[in-house]
Each structure stands twice: as C-alpha cells, then as structure tokens.
Amino acid sequence: MTNNGLISREDFLKPIELKTSEEMIDGFGKVRFREMDDATEAKFEMWLRPKGKDKRTEIERRIKLVMLCVVGADDKPLLSDDDWEAIKKFPPRIRNELGYHVMLVNGFIKDIETEEYEAELLGKSNS
C-alpha cells in the first residue's frame, strides 16, 4: 500500500492465486472446481470458435467448461476430452449445477442466493 491508502504498482502486479471451490453435488459428493488460468482460458476460447465450424451450443460450452475446471485434490484436471460423451449423458440438472459452480469460481456470475436467480440458472421451477 502507498501512504495515501491506495494500492502500489508492485502490490497490484503480484501474482494472484487461482480460486478454488469445493461443492457437494447431488449424486457425486464433493467436487472441486478451479478457476481457469490464462492458458486454460485461451484453450477454451480457441475451442469455442473453431475455424470453419458453427458456433458451439450452450450444452457443449457447459460440458467443456466442466471438463476444464473440475480438478482433483492435486488441483490438476480430473477430466479430459475422452470424458465428453459420459458427461453429455448426465441429466440436465447435474450439468446445470456443475456449470453453475464453474461460472461462480470463474467470476462469470455472482453468488446471489435467491430462489429466482438460482431457478433461472439451474433450470428449476419456482412453482
């Protein structure tokens, strides 16, 4: 910090640890999610917009993000492209819940604990 209470350049440019989150997922138990680093984000961006191909669907994007962000106790990816078909067969409620936590850990959304917000993101009905 500087003497006027603002952050210094040196402090601002210090490396920041990647955020992780462990969540209980129905049917799985505890699942660990890790925020993407620059290389992983670049890999996702390249996959997202392949040359000469159509856009990816929302389901495809969610599956890919889960594959990139679910990690083991060693913080290394737990899944690979070989797991695509197995994850694709998960019920939508599971894919949605996994995707929700991936979005939270990456800061794509804020953790707003309202029924309406969760209902929209997780595809749950309020009625």
Q: CATH code at 89?
A: 3.30.2220
Average predicted confidence (pLDDT) for the chain = 87
Residue 41 has pLDDT above 90, yes or no: yes
- Split at pLDDT 50, 70, 90, the class of 50 is confident
Q: What is the mean pLDDT of residues 41-46?
A: 90
Structural domain including 45 reads 18-122
Q: Look at the chain and report how many structural domains it folds into.
A: 1
* Angle, in degrees to the nearest 10, between helices 58-69 and 92-105: 60
107 or 124, higher pLDDT: 107
Please check whether residue 92 is in contact with residue 58, taking contact to mean a CB–CB distance below 8 angstroms: no
DSSP for residue 73: T
Question: Does residue 66 fall inside a structural domain?
Answer: yes
Q: Is residue 25 part of a domain?
A: yes
pLDDT band at 127; cut points 50, 70, 90 = very low
pLDDT given at position 79: 97
In a domain? residue 13:
no
- Residue 6 lies inside a defined structural domain of this protein: no
